[in-house]
Amino acid sequence: MTDFPFKAVGFDLDGTLLDTHRDLGEAVNHALTLGGFETVAVNSSKDLIGGGAKLMLARAVELQGDLPEDEFRVLYKKMLAYYSEHNAVYSHPYPHARDVIAELKERGVRVAVVTNKFEEFARSILTQLDFIEPFEAIIGGNTMGKGPDGQFLAKPHPEPLFEARERCGGGAFAFVGDSTYDVKAAKAARMPVVGAAYGYCDRPPHELGADAVIDSLDQLIQALETR
């Protein structure tokens, strides 16, 4: 148990640890309705997830035309307000999520969440699901603040992963995620990355560029042991 190759493991949230697409889809549809747009099938929200809620709504709007920037900002704030009150209605951990986190902890491995979801939303959902206690760090899309370009330092920027590793005490760190944002962030940070093929992959899983790909979280420990 002491020869595990990583001191800490970071996890993306949406599509990796938690299936959150229905709550996200409901929030997008709430905003679309307020904006006079047609709603989208909730399951189609899986194809829109990635890069955070703002990009998710922008993609949904773009599918039906366009919206002036000032009007979009108003709509986006309304979406966030709705989501803040309805972010764990249907969301739930993926199969084996709790067990694999518990096994990593038993092995002395520290665990963290690195998501493009705002930190307060990530903490709220994990708290409501009684799943926040194991994590030594929750790094959200807004945790690191904004860079010189005025954009949040979120994935695919590597800074959130560096911060998660530091908060976990340093040492060998691996990351697990389901999107190109996750893989690009890990590659930029020069960290091994495992792709979650069961998630909301924005490319075919084996084309994400991950070092390994798993079909279920119960395959993660073995995948990490062989890195």
Taking only the tens place, the pLDDT of each residue in 66-121 is 899 999 999 999 999 999 999 999 999 999 999 999 999 999 999 999 999 999 99
pTM higher than 0.85 for the full model?
yes
The two tokens of residue 104 are 């990593």
Distances, alpha carbon 196 to alpha carbons 15, 35, 40, 71, in Å: 8, 34, 25, 35
Higher pLDDT, 3 or 201: 201
Condensed to tens digits (0 to 9), the pLDDT of residues 118-138 reads 999 999 999 999 999 999 999
Mean pLDDT score of the chain:
94
Under the banding of pLDDT at 50, 70 and 90, the label for residue 54 is confident
Annotated catalytic residue 12: yes
Q: Looking at this protein, which amino acid is placed at residue 36? A: G
- The catalytic position among 3, 12, 149, 202 is 12
| Dihedral sign for Cα atoms in the order 58, 23, 88, 217 | negative
Collapse the DSSP code of 111 into the 3-class scheme (helix H, G, I; strand E, B; otherwise coil) and give the result.
Answer: strand
- State residue 45's pLDDT score: 66
Contact yes or no for 48/60 (Cβ under 8 A): yes
Whether pLDDT at 46 is above 50? yes
CA distance 71 to 224: 45
CA distance 186 to 31: 32
The two tokens of residue 225 are 């042991």
Asked which of 89-93, 190-194, 199-203, 215-219 is least confident by mean pLDDT, the reply is: 199-203
Whether pLDDT at 48 is above 90? no
pLDDT > 70: what percent of the chain? Answer: 96
Higher pLDDT, 27 or 3: 27
Q: Looking at this protein, which amino acid is placed at residue 178? A: D
- State residue 1's pLDDT score: 45
